[in-house]
Amino acid sequence: MNDYLVQYASVESMVHEWTKADSHMDAAANVLIDKGFDSLMWKDDDSTIVVVCKNNYVAGLYTVAQVKTRANHMVGLPQNPENNPDWWK
């Protein structure tokens, strides 16, 4: 488990969040899960989220859509609930 800096733009400013995770994508998903799907921060699915590992300074760039997909998987939600009428069961 490593420390990651997750950076994204909100309507008001640039936001920096530290989190612990096993991968860059998991770090971004952790922040999304913690912050929720706030329309101010996560409105545009094409927006870029930057994640940097503290140990080796390797950076990853992800779209909000990619991070939403990973976050849904981490919390056990289906990938395409509109295609599955029993997704809530």
- Parse the chain into domains and list their residue ranges: 2-83
Structure tokens at 74: 């981490």
Strand 48-53 to 2-9 pairing: antiparallel
Two structure tokens written together for 65: 């859509």
- pLDDT at residue 89, rounded to an integer: 47
Q: 62 pLDDT exceeds 60?
A: yes
pLDDT digits (tens, 9 = 90+) for 11-41: 677 788 999 999 999 999 999 888 766 654 5
Fold that domain 2-83 belongs to in CATH: ERH-like fold (3.30.2260)
Q: Which pTM does this prediction carry? A: 0.78
Confirm if 73 and 81 have CB atoms less than 8 A apart: no
Residue 50 reports pLDDT greater than 70: yes
pLDDT, position 54:
95
Q: Taking 70 as the threshold, does the pLDDT of residue 58 lie above it?
A: yes
